[in-house]
Structure 1
Amino acid sequence: MPERALSAAPRPLRRARALAPLAPVSARSRWLLGLAFFAVFVAMWAFFTLGGFVSPTFLASPITMLSEGWLLFTEYDFLRDIGMTVWRVAGGFVLAAAVAVPLGIAMGAYKGVEAFFEPFISFCRYLPASAFIPLLILWVGIGEAQKVLVIFIGAVFQITLMVAVTVGGARRDLVEAAYTLGAGHRGIVTRVLIPGAAPEIAETLRLVLGWAWTYVIVAELIGSSSGIGHMITDSQTLLNTGQIIFGIITIGLIGLVSDFAFKALNQRLFAWGRVP
């Protein structure tokens, strides 16, 4: 039913349509529902902590968390920790994308390349990035290179395989049509496969960027003197759950902002891949 006709329909009918499986939700309703969940979550959190049902040692209240967060910014230079963590995520992720995207395109376009690399990459993608931390400390020390490489290892193999699957799933009719119009092998890759897969490749990078945030915290928990993960570790030794929760929420907010920015950029650069 068209949107104008749906808006003019009786209220019971509109409710039935809204509850139907796969029924679209307006942008305004989506925002309101999302904010409603956060409001309910914070209300339940405040009820159990401020009501004395949970000990502050195990879970700080929202008010205590905000107070500790203000203290982090005013007395403990938390902005520097945030900057260091963002820099590490960006460095490791960009490095992984620079290696994985061309390799994934080559694997998706050329089956010989895929046969050569896929067994090794499939094996490596099951290895947890955190398991490499002891080796990386031995190889490059506990400086920034170790943390960036943890993110690189955690992201590069995932991106490579996902890009390869995306490129390899190109429509055969478009490839055959390009050959009919006189395109060569290189033209098929540059004019058909890459443009067709570009929106999904960008979406893959957006998803893996979220995983990179989990890797950086693991890297910062060991041998780090700065970063959000380092702050969380210090707060844990002091049993300061307010600062721990504030650090976790900070990571979530930064990740959410980067996700929205990535999505907006993808829609602007690759408008042809947008679902109508």
Structure 2
Amino acid sequence: MKPLEPISPKLRLSLGILFFVIFFAGWSFATFGGFVSKTFLADPITMMKDGWWLLSKRGFLGDIGITVWRVVGGFVLASVIAVPVGIAMGAYKPIEALLEPFVSFARYLPASAFVPLLILWAGIGEMQKLLVIFIGAVFQIILMVAVYVANTRRDLVEAAYTLGASDRGIVRRVLLPASAPDIAETLRLVLGWAWTYVIVAELIGASSGIGYMIINSQALMATGQIIFGIIVIGVIGLISDFAFKLANRHLFAWRFA
């Protein structure tokens, strides 16, 4: 291995699968070998049986669907507001001076701390869950987008001015195209964070969703169901991550060439 030396797609896939094989082998060894009590950590077979029971008897597919909807809804709401604000902050220094202190302050506030207030303000319905995700994602996206836009190469801006571009044209034809791949990558990363926020939202005041199932299983000490719920989140997140990567490679093929 050499630093930053690329590897073939087949090797990358093989190594990724290998890690999962090692992980499940270690899990099986710890549980089937009696090193960890099944009360505290279910074995893989028990987890699969509990997962099948949830899907076939408890309507867990509905919980998965509602959680996915909450993640997508809150994430899209945050993106629609955050991306334009971040672009404005990165492009115009007065707007950055106005908003950056507050955004930097707000992004350190844990979304989970707002749950009691959001229940008071919005009740325990869907709006409260969406707002938890929104608060957790919007400030992160704003700041990261602003940084990428502000870091656009200065020579590109100067060249555009030399060719007669207007101020608005600089934003539309230089800043946005130059930072678009990084903005898309930012959205991919923040989407992963959104999954942590939705589970927090569903642990309190929810009657459906993956987080609701997990908290009910915890009360019953059904570790197999808890692990299955966690794995489902990971699988959905992995699928969405790969979909985002493929979309980014298609939209910005020149960046990944």
> TM-score per shorter chain, which class?
over 0.9
What does residue 56 of structure 2 align with?
74
Is 1:183–2:165 an aligned residue pair?
A: yes
What does residue 236 of structure 2 align with?
254
Q: Cα deviation per residue 1:172-216 (whole Å; 9 max; x = unaligned)?
A: 111000000000100000000001110100000000000000000
What does residue 218 of structure 1 align with?
200
What does residue 70 of structure 2 align with?
88
In the aligned structure 1, how far is the partner of 2:2 from the partner of 2:103?
A: 42
Is 1:140–2:130 an aligned residue pair?
A: no
Q: Secondary structure at the match of 1:273?
A: coil
Q: For residue 53 of structure 1, report the CA deviation from its aligned partner.
A: 1.4
Q: For residue 48 of structure 1, report the CA deviation from its aligned partner.
A: 1.2
In the aligned structure 2, how far is the partner of 1:154 from the partner of 1:121?
A: 12
Is 1:36–2:15 an aligned residue pair?
A: no
What does residue 25 of structure 1 align with?
7
TM-score if structure 1 supplies the norm length? 0.92
Q: Secondary structure at the match of 1:101?
A: helix
Aligned ranges 1:47-62 → 2 under 5 Å: 47-62=29-44
CA RMSD of aligned residues (A): 0.7
In the aligned structure 2, how far is the partner of 1:176 from the partner of 1:20?
A: 38
Q: Secondary structure at the match of 1:52?
A: coil
Q: Aligned to 2:212, which of 211, 230, 248?
A: 230
What does residue 225 of structure 2 align with?
243
Q: What are the ranges of 5 or more consecutive residues in structure 2 without an aligned counterpart?
A: none
Is 1:103–2:104 an aligned residue pair?
A: no
Is 1:131–2:113 an aligned residue pair?
A: yes
Query: Counterpart amino acid of 2:211?
Result: G
In the aligned structure 1, how far is the partner of 2:254 from the partner of 2:189?
A: 19
Q: For residue 74 of structure 1, report the CA deviation from its aligned partner.
A: 0.5
TM-score if structure 2 supplies the norm length? 0.99
Q: For residue 20 of structure 1, report the CA deviation from its aligned partner.
A: 2.1
In the aligned structure 2, how far is the partner of 1:133 from the partner of 1:190?
A: 38
Max radius of gyration: which structure? 1
What does residue 155 of structure 1 align with?
137
Q: What are the ranges of 5 or more consecutive residues in structure 1 without an aligned counterpart?
A: 1-18
Q: Secondary structure at the match of 1:272?
A: coil
Query: Counterpart amino acid of 1:206?
Result: R
Query: Counterpart amino acid of 2:157?
Result: V
Query: Counterpart amino acid of 2:136?
Result: G
In the aligned structure 2, how far is the partner of 1:191 from the partner of 1:83?
A: 39
Q: Secondary structure at the match of 1:271?
A: coil
Q: Secondary structure at the match of 1:262?
A: helix
Q: How many residues align?
A: 257
